[in-house]
Each structure stands twice: as C-alpha cells, then as structure tokens.
Structure 1
Amino acid sequence: MRQIIIKNTKNIKQLTFDIPNDNGVYLLVGANGAGKTTLLTCLDRICNPYAFATNFTSANNTNNIDQYSASSIEYITEHAHIKFRKGTRRWACTPRTNSSPLLKREFGFENTIFIKADSKRIDVPQEEIRSGNLVDVESTIIESLNKIFETTKYNNLKRLRNVNGRGRNSTYFYILKDGRKYYSEKRFSTGELAIIRLVERLHTTASNSLFLLDEAEMALHPRIQKNLLDYLNEKATEKGLTIIISTHSITMIKSTHRNKIMLMENDASENTVISTPCYPAKAIGYVDFESNIIFDTIFFVEDDMARLVLKAMIAKYANINTLIKSMMYCIIPVGGYEQTALLARNTRHQLFERSKVYALLDDDVFTEAIHNNQKFAQLYEQNRDLIFSLKCTPESWLIEHLENRDANLTSCIRNNYHCEINTILTDNRYTACNAQSPRKLCKQKMDVVLKILEERCGDSQESILNSFVDLLIDQEMDNGTIQSVLAPLLRY
C-alpha cells in the first residue's frame, strides 16, 4: 500500500490517492481547478523536501489570505504513517522525524522529478551568445527528438559552450546547422524548447523514479502529442519509471488504455475522488466541457513579476470600476518583449472575436528598447490596439530601490526574510552580474536577489515577488496610473 490523503489543500476538500503499483505512463484528467497540480505537488514531496515550500506558498503580510492552517497531507504505507501540517512558517511532520529519507525508502522511488507548466519549461539562458566550442549532443537525445518531431534535422544539433569566467559555470546553448548557417535555441519554437527540456530531463533521470509532468501537451501539435506519449511509454519501460501527467489532450486520452487513465472529479459531498479505470470517452467529456470556457480577456506579459503586478493592478482597479469585477481573464507570462507581442498577435488571429487579447509590456520597452529594434517598432505601429505599456518596469524599479537602500524595501527584506540589503549587494553572485543592456542587467540582478532570499528563508520565489509587488503598487501605482493602463483596454 502506497497512499496519500490530502485534506483542505487548495481546491481539494479531501482526496485519497493510491499510487499505482506498476510502472508506466498514467494520465491525470479533470476539469480546471480539480486539483491536478496539487496532487502532483504532493507526489513530488516523496523525494523533494522543498515541494511544499515551493508550491504551497502563503501570503506573508496577512493572516487570512492563501493560508493552509486547516490543511493536512498524509503519507501511508504498510510500515509508516507521516502527516504534514502547515505551521507558522513551515510544514511540520508528525511524528517528528527526518521525513525525507523515510518517505523515499517507504515509497520505493529513487527520485521524483516534477516538470511544471510554467515559463521555466521554455526558458533559454539570458546570457548573450558568444563564440565558443561546439560540443556533440548525446545521440539518444538526437534520436528521440527526430522521432518525436518526425524529422532528421536534429542530426545537426550541437551545443555551444560559452565560458563565463573564473568561478562561474559555463552556459550552453543548443545550436542547429541549416546549410551554411547556424541558429540557436533562442529561435526555436515554444514546442521545440518544451520537448528538448523534457527529453534532457528524462535522459538523466535515474531508473525507478517518479516522473511528474503538468500539461504534457503544452504548445504541441496533436500528432506530436501522440509521438510524445509513445516516447514517454518507451522511457517508462526502459528505466522502470512511473510517469504521471496531467493533460487536457484529447489525442493523448484517445491513445491511452482505460486502466492508465485517472479522472479527478467531485462526489456528492464535494470530496475529490479518482475514477480509474476510466474509459477515454468519459475523460474526453470533461475536456470538451473545459473547451467551452472562453476568457473575456487574455493578457500576455513578459515574466512572472509582470504577471503579479498586473494581477494586483486589476484587483485594485476593481474598487473603482465595477465592469472589471465580472471580467473573466487570464495572465500568461511569455518571455522576451518581442516574443510576448508576437504571441499576442498570433493568438488574436486564432481566437477571432471570442476573446480580447493584449500584450502588456514593461515600460522600458517603449522608452529604450523600441528605439534599437526596428522590427519591433514596425510590429508596434501595426498593432497599437494590441500592444500596451504596463507603465512600470518592475525589475528596474526594484533594483533601483534596492541599490538606493529604500527604507520601505529595507524594512520588507529585513522583517520578512531576515536579510540585510547590504548582504545582497555584496554577494558575489550579485556583483558578478554583467549584462550589457540595462534591462537585461536588472533582470539578471533580480534573479540573484530571489535566489538569495529563497536560500535565506525557504519561501518560494513567487511569495517573495508578491511582497515586492505589494510595495511597488503602494508606492508607484495610484488609481490614476492604474486607470491609464486598464481603461483603454476596456474600451476596445
């Protein structure tokens, strides 16, 4: 018996989940908000002691928002019973013991790997590409990519090694040769990047591991989704893996035996239950239901901090504009400003009139970057009703206030994260930041700030970002500024 019992955690009132005894690929299907990601996080905790701290974050500055005081998560085997509850700052276990090696031993997995449906799945290194050594890519990775994408072009795949100086790790970029020219992963499609990152992780995953994949179909054509599913089944057999993936893909559901489909749904008491075996037709019914949910507005932004800033702005603007309270929206972080604008433009063409689509970019795109990027300037001129400014540059604001030792920011960092600003500014990782453009330098420094504070307090980076966003909104975003950002979007 290998069982997890989840109570009062996010959207799950109560769920008892039995981990499959056999290796293989299992699909986790359910409506939005059913608790799929919550379950994957609890599974990740079997071998990852930071799973809860990273994914179940609480608001630091309030006692009644995003708290887990009534939550409990139990891990049960024939010889052990460990229960986690959220304490004041951390998740504590009963009985008091070193839970990590015990869970790993009792549940019998060598490791857990959780591939989330977030921007890290398609991230590329922020450093500029320089001349360097071309290194061969492992033949098994090349073969897997060719098979999944039904091509032979990855025969020409290399890795470019850029040395970053003493004490700093080298940066590697994937490079493809096309005739006499080369192009890097910075020009790869979103789907290519997602698959390359996935194949990399599976290539290095230890045998007998638990591999968790959220929204496996992200940015993939249906035929490629089927090829990916075949590849995952091959790796599960080859390495003795248990692979659990959450999905809305009709293609994947149709291609999976009912014994490997797990449907999450609520019973009459609003408890979550897992139905398995589940016939594909029933699972597809839940996916079709979700496909009818259409957002009124879709906002594309550059990164997670911009996402949190816009979310806070909308919440504040709702106090003076009742229309926005009824708006059903989502905010999607993409990456670079040009990619964000292009994705918004392409998405608008695909959705026709069903949803409003906007790209909200950091303000320095319009004050600095646009003057040095003729291609983007033309894109902006052709899509002025689509591309707008966030009226702030969150990372630049934070780094400027950090280096000026702003009193409010000093207090926030000291009280919430038990760290002094000077400790951050003198850290070798911070002083080593050397990106040439001001906006890239700020983003590079921001990444270091988050890593330092995460190490100091154990809070997730999103929790830390939220506290910075609260400061930014309070100090820089009055109602007039927020209205100047959002009011034009509501008029279109």
Structure 2
Amino acid sequence: MRLNVHIHKIKSIDDLTIALPVDKGLYAITGQNGSGKSTIVACASRAFFRMKMADYFGAIEDDAFIECELNGITRRWEKKRSDTKNLTDYWAHSSNGKMEINGFYEGSLIFGNRFRNTSYEKMRNLENANPKMLKEADEFIRQNLGEILQGDSNFYEKIWYVQGEDVGLKGGYIFYYEKKGKRISQFHMSTGENLLISILNSISIRKKERDNIEKPCMFFLDEVELALHPSSLKKLMTLLTQVSDEYNYAIYFSTHSIELIRGIKPENIFYIERHSDNSLEVLNPCYPAYATKFLYDHSGYDRIILVEDDLAKEIIRRILKKESMMNNKLVHVLPCGGWNNVLDLADDVIRNNLLGKRASICIILDGDIKDQADKYRKKIHNSIPTNYLPIKSLEKYLRSKLVLSVDHKLYRHLTDYIFQQKSLAEIIDEYKRISRYDWEKDSNGKTFYSLLNDELQKRNKDRAELIETIVDYLFDQHSPELISIIAFLHNQLD
C-alpha cells in the first residue's frame, strides 16, 4: 500500500507526484540542496498532521494544492479566498472519507514542534516550575536518550515533563532532565537533546496507541543529522529499525547523511533529481552511491567496479571470489542504479579525481543496453574500461525468464527454494490478468517484480535472498556467456 502525494506549486515544487510505501521499514528521501526534500515530507505529513500552512509554506500561488490519497480515500488542501473585498487567503480542506493513518512529523531545526507560542519571559519562568506540576516521563525516553547520545542508558537520572497548557504554552510537552540533583529545562538542552527527546516522546505516544497494528503509521523526520553526531545517528537508526519492525512503522528521513543512506535498502531510497528546466524526477530504487554522489571514502581501495544493481554486484562478487582475483588487493563493487547513472558517476569521479592516485575504476553494465551506453559514452567522452554482463536487470531478467520465454530449470529452482507457498504459477497468472491490456508498459519488468516482492515480504524473505538464489543457478549452469566477463576482470585486476 502507498500514500500517493500530489504537490502543485508549493515552494520550489511546480508539480510532483510521489508514491510513498506505508509498509514498515526505514526510507530516505534525498537529493541535492534545493531539490524539495523538506517540502515533500512536510506536504506528505498532511495525511495525518494539521499545520498552519502559511507558517510552513509562506506565500503561494492561487492554484496551489496538496493532495494525499491512501486506499481510495483522498484529502486535499488548496488555497481559497475567504473575502473578495479584503482578499484574505486561507487553506480549504476537502475529503471523500476518513483516511486511516497515524503519524508524526518532526521538522528539525526550524519547524520543530517544541517551542511554539513562547517568549523569553515564559522560558525563564519555566526554570522555576513548581515541582508538583512535574510528571515522570516514560522510561523508554530516559533510557534511549542516554543510550543514543551518551552510550549510557542511565546517564539521565530522571526525565520530567509538564503539559504546555499548564505553563501558558499552547499544546505539547516541555521536558526536563535531572542530573546530580540539578534540573535542566528543555529550553537549555542542546539541539541534539531537544530533537531526540521530541522524537522519542512521539514514538512513546504512538506505541501506546497502537491498538490496531495494521493501521498505517508514518514518521517523517527532516534532516535529523543536522543535530546529531554520526555515532548518535547510527544508534538512533538501530532503535528506529527495532520499533519499525515491532510496531509496523514506516519511517522516512529527509536527508543528505551518508550514515543514514548507507543503512537503507535501494528500493527504500527516493532520490529527487531537479533538472535544468526546474522539473523534478523521482529515482527509485536508488543506490546509496548515486544518492550521495560518491561521497563515500573509497580512497583505500585498489580497484572500484561500478555496476548497475545488486544482481550485477552479486555476480561480479562471485566471479572475483571463484577466480581468486582479490588476492593481495582491495576491490569494491559498487551498485549505482541505471546505466546512465553509472556512466555519469564514473565521469564525475574521473573529472574530479575523487579516488585519489591509488585507486582505479572500471564499469560493468547490463548487456541489454550496450548500444545505448556506447552512444552515450561517446557523447560524454567516457573512455573508462567498460564491459557488459550477459544478463539484464533483475526485474527484466525475471520477466524474460519466467513469463516471456520460460526457463524451466530456473522456474523450478525458484519454486523449490523461494516460492514454496504461493506458487510462481499463481503470481504469473495474476500478472497476466493485470497486464493484459498494458503489456508493453511493463517492459522494465517492475510490475511483475512488485508481485514477486509482495510475496517475498509475506514470507519474511527479501530481494537479497532472491538474488543469491538466481546467482547460484547461473553458476550451477556454467553459463558460457560468463567467460567474456571473467576475461575482462582478469585483464583489469591481474
């Protein structure tokens, strides 16, 4: 199931539609500065979060709107004029039913939900709050605040809170921590403490109200890395992975962070590409190497091999191991996404000398795009050593071998090791029914793969397990088509 978000003329986004899964897991929305990441998460949070639109989006055009759709229910917000004489603007909300979704939005540094409608005078008064007003916070907050920030779950001796209304603030909670008998209000906590205590409190609240764990619940966290040290960020990721799995949360990060992106699966990364005409393109799946534009430190490697996807990576990794090509050298196989992503990234690496003097680079692309890739390489003057695998992308390969021209050995292999409950025959029949009138539009195989992936998730299996099974099959068959790629790799690495 997906939350479909249509954004029209909001801040820097002219028009964009993005489909965000509500299935449990960690997701990243990333892109260069000004690509619209923060606007996307703010707009998507309208599915469950009421905000003052003018505060978040400022002045907008008269035909601007945000529309969210989930499971047939649509919620829409658009600009209206309430008084034609005074030209007063307001946001009108409409819906065709109740949208069954919960969530949490944390707008990081600027649009956080902590200190609204306050003043310095009120802040000073809160330092001397009546102890009788204080309530002890959930142990979940105290322990995880200490563990994530300090590596010690008992670092904060006590965590207290008061409700905003009790101290003259509108809504929310004000927190205090106690350390060696001294009480510190949230107004004097560090930025990291402020951000994290807000996130932990929201998780605590959502946990308690999860009476129906099947009801979608989405967290949107905007650039949390700005307030947290990388080591704390890694611990936060571990915690969020645990609560996501246990409570069925879909947790989205709007981020530039390598630490965040490198821990998220490519199919859960949405890269927002802004083109020269100001149009936006959503790249999904997107591999971390492309999402971070090669910001990883690869200078310690002797050889970098750029490939398109995780299937290609696993094939190359198996060849390197089988042929003993990694003896006395460090080799890294890096999936980057589509073939044009690979070539653009390789070109950027060479032009900007991102690998340093020690490392060198080569490219291995999927075999079905050789003509296109060769033309593009000439256009950008790319002379990096390049070869082609005898297979297509994972999605194209599966559609070709299981639907268009059935490879009976592969079919039986996948049935025996992966699809043991709902059979491949049932999945293929379902695919043929939904694709009957739109066959050519699935030439990339993504619709067919989505059906396979749905079944994998139901059986607690994943893409990596499917890939491993396919690669085992390819090597068991001793395919002669692999000989040329083995020779190419020997030439590059020996």
- TM-score, structure 1 normalization: 0.48
Higher relative contact order (CA 8 A, sep 6+): 1
TM-score by length of 2: 0.48
